[in-house]
Structure 1
């Protein structure tokens, strides 16, 4: 058995049966193994950042590691941005990077690079497989490593000769690292904190599933503690019937205002909040001065069990207050960000997966979805834009029975629009709503906030913040990738287009023309 076949077969036996890939010459024996191990589903992407973003989303939805295959150091480099997002989300991703044959490295061929150094920037575990007899065991060690520390990227570098050599054998899976159980002293400390008026519980990471959210809702109902969700949650089960919880604001000044009266800040699966960027005269640490921070459970903990233990302590008979289902259609008229978000909420199917890379529209979209149909949200956890289209691919493959709705800013969509081709090839149930304001609107806002100057719409600075001249035609781009698309400018047309997209199988794109916010 060749090394690649042993590796792929062992992954399938361990429950990893999807691999997102953009392979090259060094990975051809891995690709060939897809014929000898047909249980492994290979998903081809046109860009490495699509493969890595899709794997991140697949793992977020399934709760188990997803596999990626990339070509040498340059291929890994192309996938780094969405691997950064996976690292920040603590997503279990098994990354296989092909390398030159061992004896060929000495020639310093044009594509030779330091793969290990690149991988270490986003991986918690990196290893180069040196012998075909060890490759399957190495893969199982990598897979086990993805569950350490609450989830991480584990990279296995696979030299071409190890892949093509005979002598490999299947290897048994290693036990996954279990989450840390509730720590009684932390539960006791958090119980004392939430019983005091003004306590805030910041929920993040694994604290945003249905059971954990219900426990948090019961704690809030019994104690009056205020719940907040981290700004960009990796996976959040929300909507009607679940506790209504506001997000921590993206802009530092707004987040400071949300937290300024907190008597204590209890962290459940979230890290202590800091601003995304440093601004003149604005503190980077968002915790109010004198506010104690109580670590209830970190992302490596069994956060659900810990929140349930806290609920048993302070809210044994309480019932979480569910959000009502109220998402009316917006009135007819010219489209803007508010009516666009309302239309998405009004037409959202039950149990959908919402991919949120709406950026400047996020502050409007989040409250609109709080009372929409119950659903799961995936957000831009690491802040590296271009995650949305790949995330829709991974989510749709992970949950083929659940519709995916991707609300996507226009500028960041262009980073990884190649994902539409994979959506079309795999016939995925994805509706992408492009928010087209023909600008990097968030940067227009940031130009003023950083003290660099007023928001510019003209001149040399303004030219760096606009997507006009020429304006990308997303309908033409989507059609070119094989995805049916429509452009809309009114709320009534958007509502009709969203229903059209849901009425047909396969992916669709709706380009919503809205005025810029900045």
Structure 2
């Protein structure tokens, strides 16, 4: 058994079932090992940003990591943006990155780079393996690091000769570090803050999962507090039968307004609310200056256990939770605009769907029109690095093949990783991609005033325009093997969305707004 085979066998034995890959020469022995060691599905992506984004989507829905297989430092670099998103989402991802043979490093070959430095910026664990006999054990440790707490990005760098040399040893699984137990002092402090009034429970990450939100809702109902989440959670279980929670908008102005009266903010799996960017003469915090922050549970803590302890402290029970009714909107009529398309999504969203949302500006109406739809999962963009929507949906569809995955996709960010459509076709994944085609970087047009540039010139405006020439989404999708159509009326969108929901397999709808 060579080193590559021992690594694959170690990961398979520990429960890793999928490898998203874009390999090169240095990784070919690892690719060959995927043939010789049964139990690992290998999914090819045409760009490394698709690899890492798909691994993120897979882990969010599967609840466990996939492996990625990346080619040297440049391959890891190409996947960096979506590894940043995975880090911010606290998603367990195990990167396997090839490196030149140990004896070849001294020659500074063209693809030589500082892989450790690139990996270190997004990884909680980085290890480099030079010998076949050490590869299995290193893989077990790297996997445990990825699965510790809520989840981390973990990177294993494998010298080519460690992969091809005989003497590999299959390692036993290593137990990950579980989420930290609640601290009694934090629980008591949170209870006192709730009793003081003007309180909000802000839940995120593990604190925003279904059971945790039900407990948080019960606590809020018992104490008169508000319950909210921020619109950038890795995974929200939403719709009829889930807990009612406010959604704090990402833009600083609306978020500050929503938090203006809060003086006691209990953070459950969430950090302090801040603005995405620093704007001239505006604060970075969106809370009132007199607001006290109480950290009940950090993102890698056991948020559910902390909420159970807090519920006991204040005498709340899950039966006290306020639940969303099943009340989807009526199908709209009239013009095609962000509100009407959001209402269509809310009215027709199928039960148990998974939504990968990279809608950006068009998506600001989606929450209110889908909150009482059929039960579903919603995946946001926690890291803010655009270009994750299409691969995120791809990975989710690999993880839950029996569920309809719907990608609500801005056109500008969609072009970053559009190659993932090819993977959807190759794997026959059940993904409906809806592209909001406003033919601009609309979010940046909106930001001009916020950064003190209310009167941009023609050069600045041209940098935000995607209409010259127009991007042919239908032709692009068909070129990747995905059925596609364009609509520019509300009636056309309703018909296309219904058709896309009814049929399995990858499809794309371009909605011209």
TM-score (norm 2): 0.98
Match of 2:482 in 1: 483
Per the alignment, residue 266 of structure 2 pairs with 266
In structure 2, the gaps of 5 or more residues are: none
Match of 2:435 in 1: 434
Tell me, yes or no, if the aligned pair for 1:356 and 1:408 is still in contact at 8 Å.
yes
Counterpart in the other structure of 1:339: 340
Q: Indicate the SS of the match to 2:461.
A: helix
* 2:295 match: 295
1:407 equivalent in structure 2: 408
Structure-1 separation of matches of 2:278 and 2:128: 38
Please give the residue correspondences for 1:341-356 in structure 2 after superposition, counting only pairs within 5 Å: 341-356=342-357
Shift of 1:372: 1.2
Report which stretch shifted further, 379-388 or 31-40.
Answer: 31-40
Residue 395 of structure 2 corresponds to 394
Q: How many residues were matched structurally?
A: 512
Q: Classify the secondary structure of the residue corresponding to 2:510.
A: strand
Match of 2:370?
369
Aligned partners of 2:358, 2:224: CA distance in 1, in Å? 32
Q: Distance in 2 between matches of 1:196 and 1:335?
A: 47
Secondary structure of the structure 2 residue equivalent to 1:20: strand
Q: Are 1:218 and 1:315, in contact at CA under 8 Å, matched by a contact in 2?
A: no
Deviation at 1:312, TM superposition (A): 2.5
Question: Any conservation in 2 of the 1:253–1:282 contact (CA below 8 Å)?
Answer: no
Q: In terms of mean alpha carbon deviation, does 239-248 or 385-394 score higher?
A: 239-248
Q: Is the 8 A contact 2:190 2:266 kept in 1?
A: yes
Are 1:117 and 2:117 counterparts?
A: yes
Q: Tell me by how many angstroms 1:149 deviates.
A: 4.7
Q: Where in structure 1 are there 5+ consecutive unaligned residues?
A: none
Asked whether the equivalents of residues 197 and 225 of structure 2 are also in contact (C-alpha less than 8 Å), the reply is yes
Preserved contact between residue 179 and residue 302 of structure 2 (Cα < 8 Å): yes
In the alignment, which residue of structure 2 is the partner of 1:459? 458
List aligned pairs for 1:196-207, cutoff 5 A.
196-207=196-207
Q: Secondary structure at the match of 1:468?
A: coil
Kindly state the Cα deviation for residue 146 of structure 1 after the two structures are TM-superposed: 1.0
Residue 315 of structure 1: CA displacement? 3.9
Which residue does 1:166 correspond to in 2? 166
Residue 184 in structure 1 maps to residue 189 in structure 2: no
Q: More deviation in 353-362 or 13-22?
A: 353-362
Q: Deviations over 1:162-182 (max 9, x none)?
A: 011111021110011111112
Aligned-partner Cα distance in 1 for 2:287–2:363: 23
Report how far residue 52 of structure 1 moved: 0.2
Matches within 5 A, 1:96-111: 96-111=96-111
Task: Compute the RMSD of aligned alpha carbons.
Answer: 1.2
Give 1:358's aligned residue: 359
TM-superposed CA distance for 1:195, in Å, is 2.2
Residue in 2 that maps onto 1:21? 21
TM normalised by structure 1 equals: 0.97
Range with bigger deviation, 310-319 or 377-386: 310-319
How far is the alpha carbon of 1:448 from its aligned partner?
Answer: 1.3
1:97-121: per-residue Cα shift (whole Å, max 9, x none)? 0000100111111111111111111
Report what 2:152 is aligned to.
Answer: 152
